[in-house]
Structure 1
Amino acid sequence: MIDLTQTIPLWDGAAPHAAQGREEEMPHLIPFIQPGSDSAVIVCPGGGYGFLADHEGAPIAELLNRAGISAFVLKYRVAPHQQPAPLSDGQRAIRHVRAHADQYGIDPSKIAVLGFSAGGHLTAMLGTAYDPGQPDHEDPVERASSRPDRIILCYPVITMGHYGHAGSRENLLGADASEALITAYSAEKQVKADAPPAFLWHTSEDGLVPAENSLRFALALAEHGIPYELHVFEKGSHGLGLADDMPAVRVWADLCLTWLKNQGW
């Protein structure tokens, strides 16, 4: 049985793709299980792949709980860890929740991922780089699909090219990333025909991660016929989280919850 009062390590041993000298760092999930909920959202805080922002973690999970939805906050690896460690952590988190869906009381087809900023980039990548699992793997978790059923992108970093966030790119890909690697981690270039439906929001004043990131991803979804909902608010800087002190922007949470409810969450 899983102890829902404790953090949940994603691997029993050392995590794959560990940075040299940092093997002891273990990515994990913090559960926020809502009794009676049959759906879940995995929350990925932002922080430029250099740290994880507290205000984009537990407060979001608690908001989801108040809406009757279970949540998990993902503590994924950041610098000095580089690609593919964060993506590996995110994929493992989805597989874990799906593989243990019965213990969490969750429908395995109702697992969404929500991310802010660089966590939004991780979420977008999870929504484009997924696989059905390995049916014969000795680890039951690895048998589960890593595809999220829905994704929610909050002022996300999307591209690793023009309009991208230089700090996130360097932390994730390194200072001398090749063009091939930049393309591989530009989520707008990786959208597939079976990508999950998405909810996106941004502000047009965001000077750190321009709204073009969300716009480009929405266009890529549209080109593949993937349903999406996009909101771009006029005012507001980067990193607002719940935006409690900005009434015109904090409506994003109600809009998102309404979208989730309409999706069956």
Structure 2
Amino acid sequence: MLVFDETISGIDDTEARFRGYVIENYADMDAERTRPAVLILPGGGYRRTSAREAEPIARRMLGYGYQAFILDYSCAPSTYPVALLETAEAMRRIREHAAEWHIDPNAIVVCGFSAGGHAAALFAERWNGEETRAHGYDPESIRPNGLLLGYPVITSGPYAHRGSVEHLLGPRGKDDPALLDLFSLEKHVTRDVPPTFVWTTVTDETVPVQNTLLFVNALVAAGVNVEVHVFPEGRHGSALGTNETDNADRWIGDLTCVQPWPDLADAWIRGRFPAATAWK
């Protein structure tokens, strides 16, 4: 396996951490094998990036046979569009090295949790927008082929996670309704958003389930293919729903009902991308 740890320089002189876990090919198995890739954006309220939504998720994706990458994007005091552009650069590198890293360039999924879900969904809406073009990105070089979200922050409206919005926008967002509206993602879905898999829980008190429901309704209205799973129980930040991704205080508790989501996401990826099924 190839493992690397690189930096991506932000436009505000910060640095994002970009990690890769690449399953290598071998002549005595299949020297020409290609695989889907998953770029993981951890949550953390745009204040930090959470370890429970980073390497454990990458290891699970590797277990399914996917190439896995983690982007610890710049958080507060960095504000929009720093994380968006760092995501664009991570996507560019993945597609640029697709042959070297045995990736199907048409099977790259951006995956995010909580505020990382907002970052992933925001990128899925704006990969071909003014910000990325202005910084020299060819839209086709950074196009996501799928979007995978776990308990995502979506709206800046009544069900918003205010901390995420404030950290993303900084002082600009406090008294500017028009700016806040731009980051209420359910209002800006188009057919350019890739097929989407999203899951959450009814009992999430930090990022209410309405965030997911608003986004799913917008995806359906725009004609975007979507699969959604709403589990009856589970606190925010549940990640894999296992002891491994709980913290030392066991504050998440029993999350067995959310544990099927990775297998469901695996089935979704295999149903969308031939590269995921050719060698299963």
TM-score (norm: length of structure 1): 0.88
Structure 1 runs, 4 residues or longer, greater than 4 Å off: 136-139, 141-144
> 1:240 matched to which residue of 2?
238
SS of match in other structure, 2:147? strand
Residue 39 of structure 1 contacts residue 106 of structure 1 at CA under 8 Å; is this kept in 2? yes
1:5 offset after TM fit, Å?
A: 3.2
What is the alpha-carbon distance in structure 1 between the residues aligned to residue 70 and residue 150 of structure 2? 15
Counterpart pick for 1:84 among 81, 85, 98? 81
What is the alpha-carbon distance in structure 2 between the residues aligned to residue 71 and residue 170 of structure 1? 30
Aligned: 1:166 with 2:162: yes
What is the alpha-carbon distance in structure 2 between the residues aligned to residue 106 and residue 187 of structure 1? 29
Residue 129 of structure 1 contacts residue 190 of structure 1 at CA under 8 Å; is this kept in 2? no
Gaps of 5+ in 1: none
Structure 2 counterparts to residues 29-48 of structure 1, below 5 A: 29-35=18-24, 36-48=33-45
1:174 offset after TM fit, Å?
A: 1.8
> 2:148 matched to which residue of 1?
152
Once the two structures are superposed, residues 171-202 of structure 1 have per-residue CA deviations (whole angstroms, 9 ceiling, x without a partner) of 01124512222111111111112320000000
| Same amino acid, percent of matched pairs | 37
1:142 offset after TM fit, Å?
A: 5.1
Q: Aligned partner of 2:267: which letter?
A: T
> 1:205 matched to which residue of 2?
203
SS of match in other structure, 1:6? strand
Q: Aligned partner of 1:96: which letter?
A: R
**1:143/1:119 CA distance change after superposition, 3 Å:** closer
Residue 126 of structure 1 contacts residue 147 of structure 1 at CA under 8 Å; is this kept in 2? no
Q: Aligned partner of 1:15: which letter?
A: G
* Residues 167-176 or 64-73, more deviating: 167-176
TM-score (norm: length of structure 2): 0.84
Counterpart pick for 1:5 among 3, 6, 10? 3
> 1:263 matched to which residue of 2?
272
> 2:93 matched to which residue of 1?
96
Structure 2 counterparts to residues 223-234 of structure 1, below 5 A: 223-234=221-232
In proportion to residue count, which structure has more strand?
2
Alignment: residue pair count: 251
Once the two structures are superposed, residues 88-142 of structure 1 have per-residue CA deviations (whole angstroms, 9 ceiling, x without a partner) of 1112211221122122111211110110000000011111111299xx9998x75
Aligned: 1:110 with 2:110: no
